[in-house]
């Protein structure tokens, strides 16, 4: 009998099945919301094309420091076909550096013209 009263007391202290805590009031994530990834973050880059590597669809670029992302260095950066075709060795460029699943890419590449 005593065991029954202890269980009854514990049952009154527990929240009922219909009650929910504040953290459970938010809708559960759907399959679509858990599989989508955030868009890639772009970082402004300024550098000089050191080499054009057509077989790798990439440029070897000596770039300035990108604060909060990486120090100044020379690195291989992937580009799309039109950018690769327009690139010139020794050309100073500005671009947007983007980290993708297959490496670092340059987007919106623009040659810097000197007055």
Average pLDDT over residues 78-83: 97
Buried b / exposed e across 36-62, counting CB within 10 Å, b at 16+? Answer: eeeeeeeeebebbbbebbeeeebbbbe
Q: Over the stretch 11-69, which tens digit does the pLDDT of each residue have?
A: 555 555 444 444 445 455 555 544 556 667 899 999 999 999 999 999 999 999 999 99
**Going from the N-terminus, what domains does the chain have, and what CATH number goes with each?**
2-35 (no CATH), 42-111 (2.40.50.320)
pLDDT of 21? 46
d(CA 93, CA 46): 6
- The pLDDT, as a whole number, for residue 27 is 53
Rounded Cα gap, residues 59 and 47, in angstroms: 11
pLDDT for the residue numbered 41: 85
Q: Which of 98, 100, 101, 99 is nearest to 109 (CA)?
A: 98
Q: Is the pLDDT of residue 74 over 60?
A: yes
């Amino acid at each position: 009998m005593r065991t029954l009263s202890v269980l009854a007391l514990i049952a009154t202290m527990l929240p009922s099945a219909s009650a929910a805590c504040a953290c459970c009031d938010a809708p559960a994530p759907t399959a679509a919301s858990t599989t989508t990834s955030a868009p890639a973050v772009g970082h402004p880059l300024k550098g000089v094309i050191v080499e054009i590597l057509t077989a790798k669809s990439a440029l070897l670029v000596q770039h300035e420091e990108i604060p909060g992302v990486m120090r100044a260095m020379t690195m291989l950066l992937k580009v799309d076909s039109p950018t690769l075709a327009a690139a010139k060795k020794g050309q100073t460029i500005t671009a947007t550096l983007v980290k993708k699943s297959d490496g670092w890419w340059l987007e919106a590449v623009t040659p810097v013209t000197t007055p």
